[in-house]
Amino acid sequence: MSELVLLDDSYQGVQNAPNFHVGNRTLLRRVDPHNYFLADPVLKGFLEKMNVVPYAINLYDNQNFIEISPFFFPNSAANWSYSMYQNCVNSILELNTQLNSLGYCLVDGHCFNTVFFYTQPVFVDLGSIIPGTANDGIKELKSYRKALLSYRVTSAARTRSRLDSEIEAPRYTDVIRDLICPDHFVSWRGRLARLVGYQGVSRWRHYYSANPDEYCDQPKEEVVRRILEDIKPKTVYDVGCNTGHYAYIAESLGADVVACDPDPDCVDYLYRAIKGKGRRILPLVADLDDLLRAIERTYSNLRPRHVDTVMMLALVHHLVYRVGYSFEDIFDRVRKLGAGSLIIEFVNKKDANVTEWDNKSSKPWYGLEQLCTVGERYFRRCEVHRFHDDERPIVVFSERTDV
């Protein structure tokens, strides 16, 4: 067996090297020669059982490389709920313990070297597995573990601000623009609230159960189900998923689902509900911009390039009135996600909350007709499905114009 080639240790190197893509497999990590033991089939099988990312060592361009298949969706500790974070920490500590029993250890064992595949944390930093029993790589991880208490108490707070530090800081001009524009300032206030934390259980976790007739009724479910059955998406991003009611429906129809919500308590509830049950749902603490940041960060070349369908149910009015987006802002972001189709539940001005918000900050352009007009610049087809009193029609956009 030939020796593994000494290669750059960074994910950025993977991004910048187009020849690192071989068929439908992608090179994850370039490793030092002393990592040749990773080719041992017995050790490889053990590592994969211990939730290390499945890998293969293949010859390419007369050199040996470690390759993996693309991720379903990139994510990091900044996108995890408390229980996901706790599960990750315990998983890495157990991995290191088992490696120690075989004469190996982790030289770099912190959480940013783990990615969740649905509800399972999977360690991806193969190059940090080395011979020996030194535990220097676990010191940082243990400091993360100590921070779990603050994460539990505030549901975000101190720990999330630390985890979010990997996200690029806003540019000065963006901050000035948002301070000048009240609508945009609402968005920053919301982000600050996330860093300050949520005390106790959030009210959004009971969004469905407290209002079953209004928000989770049979006619709406039938419309959404019928739309998904017609589209037959293989992948769905459910943006603003709450506790995942409609993510379950999409997954039950055969889709792999990213279910994201900026409320950590809702995501934690969903994660605990599906953990260990084999559901093809990846819960993430993320809003629309967080999804884009995750894609644009280091794992961007290790994921599928497009999503079949994006769902935004009972979300657009929040994005417009509470975050400060225009319809163009929303569709621009959906386009960057690579969405083949978009399902929107449009809550119009008949809704009491929207009426109240519009009285405070009038948006004469906020209407179903205007939404469809803007959407048709991005998608060739627009279909409106009405039910009840037409307060919350479901709008389906399909056939992207940039394809």
Q: What CATH number labels 203-400?
A: 3.40.50.150
For residue 347, the model assigns a pLDDT of 94
Provide the residue-wise pLDDT of the chain in tens; the chain has 403 residues: 333 333 333 334 444 443 445 455 565 555 566 677 888 888 888 998 988 888 877 655 555 677 776 677 888 777 888 788 888 888 888 898 888 888 888 887 777 788 899 999 998 888 788 888 766 666 666 655 555 444 444 434 333 444 444 333 344 344 444 444 444 444 444 444 444 343 344 544 455 555 555 455 678 899 999 999 999 999 999 999 999 999 999 999 999 999 999 888 889 899 999 999 999 999 998 889 888 887 776 555 556 668 999 999 999 999 999 889 999 999 999 999 989 999 999 999 988 889 999 998 899 999 999 999 999 999 999 999 987 667 889 999 999 998 6
| Alpha-carbon span 24 to 135, nearest angstrom | 36
For residue 373, the model assigns a pLDDT of 97
- Beginning with the edge strand found earlier in the chain, give each strand of the sheet holding 63-68 in spatial order: 21-22, 25-29, 63-68, 56-60
Query: Helix (H, G, I), strand (E, B), or coil: what is residue 26?
Result: strand
* Cα-Cα end-to-end distance for the chain: 45
| Alpha-carbon span 115 to 109, nearest angstrom | 13
Rounded to whole angstroms, the maximal C-alpha distance in the chain is 72
**Cβ neighbours of 329 (radius 10 Å):** 17
Q: Report domain extents, the chain.
A: 11-68, 203-400
| Alpha-carbon span 347 to 400, nearest angstrom | 23
| Alpha-carbon span 209 to 216, nearest angstrom | 8
| Alpha-carbon span 260 to 256, nearest angstrom | 13
For residue 368, the model assigns a pLDDT of 95
Q: Name the nearest CA neighbour of 289 among 325, 256, 327, 257.
A: 325
For residue 275, the model assigns a pLDDT of 94
Distances (CA, A) of 351 to 98, 163, 205, 357, 362: 56, 37, 21, 10, 15
For residue 16, the model assigns a pLDDT of 41
| Alpha-carbon span 238 to 288, nearest angstrom | 10
φ, ψ at 351 (rounded to 5°): -70, 135
**Cβ neighbours of 218 (radius 10 Å):** 9
| Alpha-carbon span 164 to 136, nearest angstrom | 24
Q: Name the nearest CA neighbour of 122 among 337, 310, 302, 253.
A: 302
DSSP state of 108: S
DSSP β-bridge partners for residue 260: 239, 284
Distances (CA, A) of 279 to 122, 221, 243, 306: 16, 20, 14, 21
**Taking the CA of residue 91 as centre, how many other CA atoms within 13 Å lie in the half-sphere pointing to its CB?**
25
Q: Where are the alpha helices (DSSP H) in 197-351?
A: 207-210, 212-215, 218-231, 245-252, 264-274, 288-296, 316-318, 327-336
For residue 193, the model assigns a pLDDT of 44
Q: DSSP secondary structure string, 111-130?
A: GGGEEEETTEEEE--GGGEE
